[in-house]
Chains A and B, each alone.
Chain A
Amino acid sequence: MRETLVESLQAVFGFDQFRQGQLAALTALETGHDTLAVLPTGAGKTLIYQLYGYRHPGCVLVVSPLLSLMNDQVDRMRMSGFKRVAAITSQTSFTERQQILRQLDQIQFLFLSPEMLAQPTMLARVQQLTLSLLVIDEAHCIVQWGPDFRPEYLLLGAIRDRLGQPLTLALTATAGQQTRQEIAKQLRCTPQVVTESVDRPNIFLDVEYVADEAEKQERLQQLVTTLKRPGVVYFSSKQQASDTALWLQQTANVQAAAYHAGLAAEDRFKIQQQFMAGQLDVICATSAFGMGIDKNDVRYVIHYHLPADLESYAQEIGRAGRDGQQSVAILLYAGGDERLPLALGETNRPDAELIQRYYQHPTNFATDEPVIQLLQFYYQHGISEAAVVRLFQQRQRERTRALAQMLAYVREETCLRHQWLQAFDEVAPAHGANCCSPATSSLDAAALHLTRTTTELTRTTTEVPTVTTVSWQERLHRLF
Chain B
Amino acid sequence: MEPVDLLPLLSESQPRRLRVVENLLRGRRTVSTLYWGQRYHLLSLLNLNKTLTRGGLDDTAAALVAHGWAQIDAEKETVQLTAAGAAQRDAKVYYQPVTTEQWPYLDHQVLRARLFLAIQVVSQYAHSQAQYYPLQVDLAARQAVRRWFHTMKGPTLAATISAALTASLTKIPTMAADVLTAQFTGFNQPGVTSEQQAQLTGKTTWELYLMQLDGLTQVALDARQPTHPLHSLVAALWQPPVAHSAQVTLAAVQTGQTLTQIAATRHVKLSTVREHLLEAAIMLSLTDFPYAQLLPATTRQDFQTVVSGPIDEWQYGDLPETVQNQYDFFDFRLFAIWCGKQEA
Which A residues touch B161, using CB under 8 A?
480
For the complex of A and B, the 8 pairs showing the least CB-CB separation, nearest first, are A273-B190, A96-B139, A480-B158, A472-B177, A480-B162, A472-B181, A479-B186, A475-B181
Contact A277–B200 (Cβ < 8 Å):
no
Given known contacts A79-B131, A472-B178, A270 and B192 CB-to-CB distance under 8 angstroms: yes
A249 an interface residue at 8 Å Cβ cutoff? yes
Task: Give bound CA distance, A479 to B123, whole Å.
Answer: 5
Contact A270–B193 (Cβ < 8 Å):
yes
Given known contacts A93-B139, A96-B138, A466 and B162 CB-to-CB distance under 8 angstroms: no
Which B residues touch A473, using CB under 8 A?
166
Contact B196–A468 (Cβ < 8 Å):
no
User: Restricting to A458-480, which residues have a CB under 8 Å from any CB of B?
Assistant: 464-468, 470-473, 475-480
**A333 vs chain B, min Cβ distance (A):** 30
Which B residues touch A271, using CB under 8 A?
193
Contact A479–B189 (Cβ < 8 Å):
yes
Task: Give bound CA distance, A265 to B134, whole Å.
Answer: 12
Given known contacts A257-B196, A265-B136, A277-B190, A475 and B184 CB-to-CB distance under 8 angstroms: yes
Contact of A266 among B135, B158, B174, B182 (CB under 8 A): B135
B177 (CB) vs chain A CBs: closest residue:
A472
Task: Give bound CA distance, A95 to B119, whole Å.
Answer: 24
Contact A71–B136 (Cβ < 8 Å):
yes
Give 17 new A-B contacts, CB below 8 A, not counting A269-B136, A273-B190, A467-B179.
Answer: A75-B133, A75-B134, A79-B132, A96-B140, A246-B199, A267-B195, A273-B191, A465-B182, A465-B190, A466-B192, A471-B178, A475-B178, A475-B181, A475-B189, A476-B169, A479-B187, A480-B123
Contact B201–A468 (Cβ < 8 Å):
yes
Contact A470–B133 (Cβ < 8 Å):
no
Q: Chain B interface residue count: which class?
A: 35 or more
**B292 vs chain A, min Cβ distance (A):** 43
30 residue pairs bridging A and B, Cβ less than 8 Å apart: A75-B136, A79-B132, A80-B131, A96-B138, A249-B199, A266-B193, A269-B135, A269-B185, A270-B191, A273-B133, A273-B185, A273-B190, A273-B191, A274-B192, A276-B190, A465-B191, A466-B182, A467-B197, A467-B200, A468-B200, A468-B201, A471-B174, A472-B177, A472-B178, A472-B182, A473-B166, A479-B123, A479-B162, A479-B189, A480-B123
**A455 vs chain B, min Cβ distance (A):** 25
Contact of A476 among B138, B166, B190, B194 (CB under 8 A): B166
A221 an interface residue at 8 Å Cβ cutoff? no
User: Which label, helix, strand, loop or mixed, suits the secondary structure of the B interface?
Assistant: helix
Which A residues touch B122, using CB under 8 A?
480
Contact B139–A467 (Cβ < 8 Å):
no
**B112 vs chain A, min Cβ distance (A):** 9
B188 an interface residue at 8 Å Cβ cutoff? yes
Contact A277–B188 (Cβ < 8 Å):
yes
Task: Give bound CA distance, A193 to B230, whole Å.
Answer: 54
B281 an interface residue at 8 Å Cβ cutoff? no
A100 (CB) vs chain B CBs: closest residue:
B139
User: Restricting to B74-100, which residues have a CB under 8 Å from any CB of A?
Assistant: none
Contact A476–B162 (Cβ < 8 Å):
yes
A251 an interface residue at 8 Å Cβ cutoff? no
Task: Give bound CA distance, A72 to B187, whole Å.
Answer: 19
Q: Chain A interface residue count: which class?
A: 35 or more
User: Restricting to A232-274, which residues have a CB under 8 Å from any CB of B?
Assistant: 246, 249, 257, 263, 265-267, 269-271, 273-274
**B73 vs chain A, min Cβ distance (A):** 33
B152 an interface residue at 8 Å Cβ cutoff? no
Contact of B192 among A249, A465, A476 (CB under 8 A): A465
A99 an interface residue at 8 Å Cβ cutoff? yes
Which B residues touch A276, using CB under 8 A?
190
B221 an interface residue at 8 Å Cβ cutoff? no
**B114 vs chain A, min Cβ distance (A):** 13
B126 an interface residue at 8 Å Cβ cutoff? yes
Interface residue ranges, B against A (CB under 8 Å): 116, 119, 122-123, 126, 131-136, 138-140, 158-159, 161-162, 165-166, 169, 174, 177-182, 184-197, 199-201
Task: Give bound CA distance, A379 to B194, whole Å.
Answer: 44
**A4 vs chain B, min Cβ distance (A):** 26
Task: Give bound CA distance, A139 to B200, whole Å.
Answer: 41
Which A residues touch B119, using CB under 8 A?
479
Which A residues touch B133, using CB under 8 A?
72, 75-76, 79, 269, 273
Given known contacts A270-B192, A479-B187, A480-B126, A470 and B136 CB-to-CB distance under 8 angstroms: no
Task: Give bound CA distance, A468 to B138, whole Å.
Answer: 31
Which B residues touch A465, using CB under 8 A?
182, 189-192, 196
**A280 vs chain B, min Cβ distance (A):** 9
**B132 vs chain A, min Cβ distance (A):** 7
**B268 vs chain A, min Cβ distance (A):** 27
Contact A93–B138 (Cβ < 8 Å):
yes
Task: Give bound CA distance, A96 to B144, whole Å.
Answer: 13
**A286 vs chain B, min Cβ distance (A):** 16
Which A residues touch B182, using CB under 8 A?
465-467, 470, 472, 475
**A90 vs chain B, min Cβ distance (A):** 14
Task: Give bound CA distance, A227 to B132, whole Å.
Answer: 30
Which B residues touch A277, using CB under 8 A?
188, 190
Which B residues touch A80, using CB under 8 A?
131
**A75 vs chain B, min Cβ distance (A):** 5
B187 (CB) vs chain A CBs: closest residue:
A479
A279 an interface residue at 8 Å Cβ cutoff? yes
**B57 vs chain A, min Cβ distance (A):** 20
Quick one: which of B165, B181, B197 has the most chain A CB within 10 A? B181
Task: Give bound CA distance, A99 to B162, whole Å.
Answer: 33
Task: Give bound CA distance, A464 to B200, whole Å.
Answer: 10
A80 (CB) vs chain B CBs: closest residue:
B131
Given known contacts A71-B136, A75-B134, A266-B135, A467 and B187 CB-to-CB distance under 8 angstroms: no
Which B residues touch A265, using CB under 8 A?
136
A68 (CB) vs chain B CBs: closest residue:
B136
Task: Give bound CA distance, A266 to B197, whole Å.
Answer: 14
Contact A472–B174 (Cβ < 8 Å):
yes
Contact B139–A95 (Cβ < 8 Å):
yes
Which A residues touch B174, using CB under 8 A?
471-472
